[in-house]
Every structure is written in C-alpha cells, then in structure tokens.
Amino acid sequence: MDIKSDDPDHMNRSDEIEKDLYDIHKKNLMDIKLLQSAIESNISGGVVFKLKYDEDKKYPRIFIRNRIETFVVTQFDDYEEIIRIHFIAFQDDKTIWKQTHEMVGNIYFISEALYDTQNIREPKEIIIPYQPLKINGKTLDFMPVYIIANMAQLGETWGISEERDLIPIINEICRKYSDLSDSLKFDMFAITVFLNAKLPMGPDGKQKLKGRAGAAWKLVTDGPIDNVKPEVFKLQTEFKYIEPLQYHIDSLVSLLFEFAECINITPDTVSGLPALSGIALKLLFATIISKTNRKQIIWKAKLAEIYMGALKLKQIYEGYDIPEDLQIEIIPHLPMPSNELEEIEVISAKLADGLIAVETAMNEMGIQDPQAELAKIVAEKLQYDKALNVDQINNPAINDKGNPNNSSIDNQNA
C-alpha cells in the first residue's frame, strides 16, 4: 500500500506531508494491523479504527477494535451521520469497561468509566468525565473514530460475515469425513462375534463386552447349548459408497470456493500456471480480483479519512501545518498473479514511448515509496560513475567501455 498526498499549490509541503504519513504508518505498524483488521472484518462484518495522540512519543496512535464491542448510534434518517459510539468490554469477571465518543454539534465529547456487573446504572469508577476534548484551548471538530464495514448494504452500519454461507458447508464436509473415518475404523478393527459360545464371567459376574470397533460380542440365548456347535468370526463390511461419498465431498469443497469467490488451486492448476499469459491469469483469478477490487473501494476511502484525521491531531497538538486543499490518496497494490517477464516488457515499452512516468511504472509494479527507490537508484548510479572515473584516471588504458588495454587490441586488429 502506498500513501500519496497531493496539493498542486504546495508541492514541496505535499512531499513533506507524504513522508510524515509514511512515518505515522510505520510507527503504528499498520502493515500488520491492516492484515489483522481485514481478517477480523471478513469474520465479524467490520472493524473500528480509533485515533489518539500519544503526548509522550509525539505521534498519533491508531487503534483497532472489534465489532463485537462497538455499539453505534446514528441519525434516524441518516445512517451515515454517527452521533455516538460506545466501546464496551469486560475488564474482568466483575467489571465492565465503557468508553463513549459523541458529537454535539461540531464539538467532540468523550467519557470513560468502569461499571460493576451487578450494578450497571451507576459507574463505580470514572476514568474520564463526560467533557469536550480540549487541547491548547482548541476542541476537535470531528470524531476520531472510523467504521470500516465489510461490504455493507444500503442503510446498514455493519457489513456481513464471509463465514455466514460457508459454515453450513464446512459442517457438512466435517460430518462426511467423520462418517468416512468411522467406516475405516470399522474395517481396521472389526468386531469379534462369539456365536453359541460360553464366555468366562468377570469378578462381578458380568461379561465385559465392548460396543465399539474391536469389540467382542456374544450372540446366544441363556438356554442350553450342548448340542450346538460354537463359532467365532469377525464382522466384515464392504463399503460400496466410497466413490459417491468422494464425489459429494468434492462437490461441497467446490461450493466452498465458489461461495468464497476464490479459486480452488489444485496440482493440475499449479502445473499449468507458468505457461499462462498475464491476461489468462487475470481471467483465472477473475472472481477474487473482482471481490478484492470491490473491497478496496471502501478501504481506500476510509483509510484516507483515517490518515487525514491523524494529521488533524498533529495540527491540534503540535501546530502542524496542513494546506487547505490537501488531498490524501491511498494506492493499494493488488497481489495479482502475473507473467512478470511479460509485464516488464509491456512497462518497458510504455516507458520507451513516453506513455507513462517512471514513478507511475514503479507504482504499477507494486514498489512501495517509488520516490525513495528512485533516489536510491540515482545515488547508486552516481557512486558507480564516480568509481568508474577514478579507475579511468588511475588506469588510462581503460576506455569508455571499461575494457582494459582495448586500444592495444584495436591496434593489433588494425
């Protein structure tokens, strides 16, 4: 993921802000947090980001909370306008922690308290009394809390869980594998049957016969069996449904991937990947690419708001300068399988024809912070040129191509 700040009227300042945004991103370990929050969002239907300025370390902190402990209150006829957000969780078995964020007009209020589980009406300890958050005489005019929902429908605050449609299929697959395991155990540890045979009794006067795989059963009446020939044999089974069962399991697994909008990677699929072109690979992974692109529309917009909120906290706490027309853009990089050689050839052709800039090409290839990478390339080239010039001064026999004694070889050829 790349972060880009754009302000045509303040280009130098825009570059400085971009570096500060990367600094906030790295200090908050956002690469790890974004991965964790994406997984949590897929499972529960959404996550919540909170901003808080760390006055000791002097940078905005970004916290992520679960949906299960977040309660949102919105305007009745405008679900996008959030009035109040409560965060509620158990601190221990007898204590409930509650933190409330609220917008009253254009002023942000906050409160925090602890409650006893036996009396939740009155707080037993007030951590932050209900008050507007003031810093240097200034109040926040925005709520530093952001909800990212997983593909929410119109009018919904939260999205849906990816597991909702998958759990019944997974349960059915588990049941079928359990049935298959039971049939295998029955064949491996067949039940022993004693027919018309007398078995020794235990100390309690009872026969200890097991009712599971590997058990010994006695099939005989209590009457006399002197004239009946006893028999001992194993109960054998012929499981004739292995092919239908395997077909059923394979069908369920296919449905699992279809509902998840993912591709089912098999050994046959992997073996054929190197021969596919970039277009064929995109078609092969079309469903998951489409799903990821849909989600990135939501995450790009929300993350831009979060990073702008972080800059606003710096503005209030540090007097940080933010241009009025500043725009923050999040540039995600889709980990899309591609034919790298083919992709490099296409990008090289575009660069040669002047159709795209070097920075744009590096963004397309997924290089983080292209400007820093370009600076490294220029520095390495200057270092190489400087070393080459020193070698030419110390050894005049080295020509422009760097081949020693090239002039004498030319003379011999002449």
Which residue(s) pair with 393 in the sheet?
Answer: none
pLDDT-derived band at 412 (thresholds 50, 70, 90) equals very low
Angle CA(156)–CA(162)–CA(167) in degrees, nearest 5?
125
Q: What is the pLDDT of residue 100?
A: 95
Residue 125 φ/ψ, nearest 5 degrees: -155, 125
Average pLDDT score over residue span 15-28: 92
Question: pLDDT: is 259 or 52 the higher one?
Answer: 52
Kindly state the percentage of the chain with pLDDT values over 90: 27
Can you say whether residue 155 is alpha, beta or left, with left for phi > 0 and alpha for psi between -120 and 50 degrees? left
Q: What is the pLDDT of residues 323-373, one digit of tens each?
A: 888 889 888 877 665 566 767 777 888 888 888 888 788 877 777 777 788
pLDDT-derived band at 410 (thresholds 50, 70, 90) equals very low
Q: What is the pLDDT of residues 241-292, one digit of tens each?
A: 777 778 888 888 888 888 887 777 766 666 656 666 666 767 777 788 888 8
Mean pLDDT value across the chain: 80
* 84-to-89, 128, 141, 234 alpha-carbon distances in Å: 17, 16, 14, 70
Per DSSP, the residues of 145-210 read: EEEEESSPPTT-SS---TTTTTHHHHHHHHHHHHHHHHHHHHHHSPPEEEES------TTS-----
* Long-range CB contacts for residues 205-213, cutoff 8 Å, separation at least 24: 213/185, 213/186, 213/188, 213/189
pLDDT at 118 over 80: yes
Average pLDDT score over residue span 145-168: 88
Q: Which two tokens stand for residue 208?
A: 């200890």
Q: What is the pLDDT of residue 312?
A: 92
Q: What is the pLDDT of residue 113?
A: 95
Average pLDDT score over residue span 391-396: 67
* Long-range CB contacts for residues 197-204, cutoff 8 Å, separation at least 24: 197/225, 197/230, 197/231, 197/232, 198/225, 198/230
| Of 57-66, 160-169, 177-186, minimum mean pLDDT range | 177-186
| Of 58-72, 206-220, 294-308, 309-323, minimum mean pLDDT range | 206-220
The predicted model scores a pTM of 0.66
